[in-house]
């Protein structure tokens, strides 16, 4: 029977308690949200939704074609100019998702004959970029500049080092300055995914590279998503103009993909302008993360000290993590739940996101629920 093997996999998943299900979210959810990636609380900001609506009215419901044909509007160009200026880079290129941006950066900058050094804790989209890249891939230990140095030393030709800036599972930060130094010793390029750093870290949310004084460097490329702190949808690659020109000509997920929807571009641009006007939003997200962490540890829960807006709480087992998240939901609190195969180390976690618009009372209430429902 066609697809007969699926049943076997489904049974194994059921037996392990690892079945995933879609739960449509109502427009007005009664749950307190510590699960979304809307770090700055901008996804429903009236200026952001109006930016989306205005763009759709002006440019249409879709981009109508790939970027190199009809899919580049004046709005795309404006968004790219402003993203580059805000983050401190020479140029920017937007994509239909952060996933596509990562595939583009890693494949186009890791060609045949090159070396791609990748952190073991990287996001799935960077891992898939490595799988698709024609270069030789070496996976190195998590956040380990010495291991990166060793890997780079094995190869004489062109090389890139690929890492998340803030890792999505534990919310810890990559040692960017040391990684940049290791790259410079060998003339390698540094490609970092700032999905969880843009809008949260750096001066006014200008991102992790800005915070590490690496923004605009000729050997640094940053990718990010427009779907987290900017409350929209889409991705971006930031870097030197010559690198961005190369992506336009060589990155398959740029060339063969329909351009970013105008509504998404309009929402992201409105959110970016809001953030530029209200830089305290970034600091507030970091402060909320700190308060969440302090309250969790005071309550005796095992949390990882957050470097950005992701707060990870250890769960004893995958099954208990799933039940814990479900019990939180029953008690009115939405939290994320990471379990194998999303967590390669097998340690399951609740994943909380610190939104800038959470009040202290809401943080205290959330921690109370997590404490009361702990396994
Ligand atoms: N990189 C990281 C670290 C992410 O967490 C995500 C989103 N889950 C992505 C890339 C992908 O971005 P997008 O959702 O825009 O495709």
Domains in the chain (CATH in brackets) are 26-44+279-372 (3.90.1150.10), 46-277 (3.40.640.10)
pLDDT at 345 over 80: no
Ligand 1 atom 15: residue of nearest CA: 98
Cβ contact 164:195 at 8 Å:
yes
Across 40-49, 165-174, 248-257, least confident range: 165-174
User: What span, in angstroms and rounded, lies between the C-alpha atoms of 234 and 259?
Assistant: 10
Find the mean pLDDT for residues 61-88.
Answer: 98
pLDDT digits (tens, 9 = 90+) for 284-329: 999 999 999 999 999 999 999 999 999 999 999 988 999 999 999 9
Find the mean pLDDT for residues 240-260.
Answer: 98
- Report how far ligand 1's centroid is from the alpha carbon of 4 (Å): 32
Specify the pLDDT at position 372: 97
Q: What ligand 1 atom has the least distance to the C-alpha of 122?
A: 3
Q: What ligand 1 atom has the least distance to the C-alpha of 164?
A: 3
**Does the pTM of the predicted model rise above 0.90?**
yes
Share of the chain above pLDDT 90, in %: 92
Cβ contact 160:189 at 8 Å:
yes
Residues framing ligand 1 (Cβ under 6 A): 97-99, 102, 123, 125, 164, 168, 193, 195-196, 225, 227, 235
Q: What ligand 1 atom has the least distance to the C-alpha of 225?
A: 15
pLDDT at 169 over 90: no
User: What span, in angstroms and rounded, lies between the C-alpha atoms of 226 and 349?
Assistant: 25
Whose structure tokens read 């770090």?
A: 39
The DSSP code sequence of 51-110 is: HHHHHHHHH-SS--SBTTTT---HHHHHHHHHHHHHHT-SEEEEES-HHHHHHHHHHHHS
Six token digits for residue 87 = 């983050």
Please tell me whether residue 201 adopts helix, strand or coil conformation. Answer: coil
């Amino acid at each position: 029977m066609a697809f007969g093997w699926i049943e076997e996999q489904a049974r194994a998943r059921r037996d392990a308690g690892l079945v995933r299900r879609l739960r449509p979210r109502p427009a007005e959810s009664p749950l307190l949200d510590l699960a979304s990636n809307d770090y700055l609380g901008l996804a429903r900001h009236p200026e952001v939704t109006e930016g989306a609506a205005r763009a759709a009215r002006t440019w249409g419901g879709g981009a109508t074609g790939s970027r190199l044909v009809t899919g580049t509007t004046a709005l795309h160009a404006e968004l790219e100019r402003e993203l580059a200026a805000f983050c401190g880079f020479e140029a920017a290129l937007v994509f239909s998702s952060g996933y596509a941006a990562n595939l583009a950066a890693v494949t186009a900058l890791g060609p045949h004959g090159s070396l791609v050094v990748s952190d073991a804790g990287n996001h799935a989209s960077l891992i898939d970029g490595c799988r698709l890249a024609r270069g030789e891939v070496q996976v190195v230990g998590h956040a380990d500049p010495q291991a990166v140095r060793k890997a780079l030393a094995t190869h004489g030709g062109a090389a890139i080092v690929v890492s998340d800036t803030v890792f999505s599972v534990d919310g810890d930060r990559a040692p960017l300055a040391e990684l940049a130094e290791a790259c410079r010793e060998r003339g390698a390029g540094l490609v970092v995914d700032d999905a969880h750093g843009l809008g949260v870290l750096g001066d006014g949310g200008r991102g992790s590279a800005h915070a590490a004084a690496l923004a605009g460097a000729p050997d640094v490329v940053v990718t990010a998503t427009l779907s987290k702190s900017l409350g929209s949808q889409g991705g971006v690659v930031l870097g030197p103009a010559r690198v961005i020109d190369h992506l336009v000509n060589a990155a398959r997920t740029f060339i063969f993909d329909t351009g970013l929807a105008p509504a998404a571009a309009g929402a992201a641009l409105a959110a970016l302008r809001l953030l530029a006007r209200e830089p305290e939003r970034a600091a507030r997200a970091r402060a909320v993360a700190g308060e969440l962490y302090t309250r969790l540890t005071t309550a005796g829960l095992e949390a990882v000290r957050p470097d950005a807006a992701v707060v990870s709480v250890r769960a004893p087992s995958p099954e208990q993590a799933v039940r814990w998240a479900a019990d939180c939901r029953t008690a009115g609190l939405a939290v994320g739940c990471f379990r194998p195969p999303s967590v390669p180390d097998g340690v399951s976690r609740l994943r909380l996101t610190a939104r800038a618009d959470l009040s202290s009372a809401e943080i205290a209430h959330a921690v109370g629920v997590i404490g009361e429902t702990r396994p």
